[in-house]
Amino acid sequence: MSTQWTAADIPDQSGRVVIVTGANSGLGLVSARELASKGARVVMAVRDEAKGRAAAEAIGASAPGADLEVRRLDLADLDSVRAFADRILADGLDPDVLINNAGVMGPPRTLSAQGHELQFAANHLGHFALTGLLLEALEGGREPRVVTVSSNYHHRGRIHFDDLTGEHGYGPLKYYAQSKFANIVFGLELDRRLRRAESPVRSLMAHPGVASTSLTKSFPLLLKPIAKFVVSTRAQSADLGALPQLHAATAPEARSGEYFGPDGKQEINGYPMLVPTKSEANDPELAARLWSVSEELTGVSYHLPAAA
């Protein structure tokens, strides 16, 4: 891989269908724009359809002829996830790429419609369910891929199996780290199960470093000044932050199981490169336990065999 892979290196995407969650702003908006400009049909999965339509219009203004479709998806609500997936399948869209990009960071303790901690629900469980519901359709795609967007903050995370909802020990960033660690554990375990099933689908992961997006908008008031300072002094643009996930989604040489992040110091900013995951994320017993819990909490079972 070039040390400075950019959006200009994205291969032609004509004929491909790409679903991008959280596509109305930040990294998702950039990803939708760049993929559409390369010829992909992009389904912009958004919680707020009005904001999604505005984002699609903005993309269309900069990339005339962009093939975009806005569909509602609230990843924190598993009923919404099922409804979205059912409609995708019923309409025969047959996605080639699923970019699990949407996320929430650092809100006060909040429970989802199904009673799960909001960050775990939106960042992990929703994407786990969506991937499982669309996996068979993805297997018929061209160079099919699932790209799960995590964070360098996953290195601080662990799975609180005894308190997944944060009832007894919630901290906004503590449970954000849990959700991002879950993203990595899921992405790696998905890769192992896909390989064992000899599936054509690749499971890749990416993180943006520190990027200037609206992700910290849900921070508690006490944390907002810290977030503002970090973003103003260290963040790169969303255009650069989206490059690792775009590389994972499109680069021919990107292999299943790989994790991409910025090449700068401490992976804060820069261009895409292979980066290490937290070593504990490769624990097969942990992965199997998280997978089992995720199937139980979402009601979505994969047709893949368990990893050896």
Distance of CA 65 to the CA centre of its chain: 26
- Tokens 């970090």 found at: 230
- The span from the CA of 128 to the CA of 120, in Å, is 11
The enclosing H or E element of 204 equals: strand 202-206
Cβ(245)–Cβ(234) below 8 Å: no
Q: Which residues contact 264 (CB under 8 A, 6 or more apart)?
A: 209, 270
> Does 170 participate in catalysis according to the annotation?
no
- Tokens 């869209």 found at: 93
Question: Which of 249, 68, 69 minimizes the C-alpha distance to 142?
Answer: 249
Angle separating helix axes 26-37 and 49-62, nearest 10 degrees: 40
List the catalytic residue out of 153, 170, 175, 176.
176
Catalytically active residues, by annotation: 176
